[in-house]
Amino acid sequence: MLWEKTRQAIIYAYRNHADDYDYFMKADDDTYVIVENLRYILSTRIPDEPFFMGRRFIKNSKTTYPSGGAGYVISQAALKIIAKGILEGIEACRNLDIPEDYAFGLCADALGVPIIDSLDEHGFE
């Protein structure tokens, strides 16, 4: 399952690189990123603040999650919180049989990590 693969990647990044980078990106092999634009958007953020950024989808009025196909960015602080939640076996962060992006959103939400929509000030991606 893709969520289990993502969970393992988060744990690996946490154990091996958590203090080496400000941000971590999860993307599919067919995702294109204009790195200059991403760096510009992230330049207004602080990596010590827990958040993840991506194209926000709304499952219902209570649940928002990032589009996994578009990719999402996790702040250093969020990576640490989410990895600890996975390692501690938090119910919402367990290996669930649901789409990866939705599972990630549920886990992050349960741990109080907010999603920030990746749209710019003009409403564009």
Rg (CA), the chain: 14
Residues 82 and 107: their CA atoms lie apart, in Å, by: 7
Is residue 58 pLDDT above 90, yes or no? no
Distant-in-sequence, close-in-space partners of 88: CB < 8 Å, separation ≥ 6: none
Residues 51 and 45: their CA atoms lie apart, in Å, by: 9
Residue range 3-27, pLDDT digits in tens: 999 999 999 999 999 999 999 999 9
Which pLDDT band holds residue 54 (cuts at 50, 70, 90)?
A: confident
> How many percent of the chain have pLDDT more than 90?
64
- The answer to whether residues 107 and 16 touch, using CB atoms and an 8 Å cutoff, is no
Structure tokens at 108: 């992050």
Q: Helices marked H in 48-92 — which ranges?
A: 76-87
Residues 104 and 17: their CA atoms lie apart, in Å, by: 20
pTM score of the predicted model:
0.90
Per the model's pLDDT, the better-predicted residue between 65 and 80 turns out to be 80
Which domains are assigned to the chain? 2-117 (3.90.550.50)
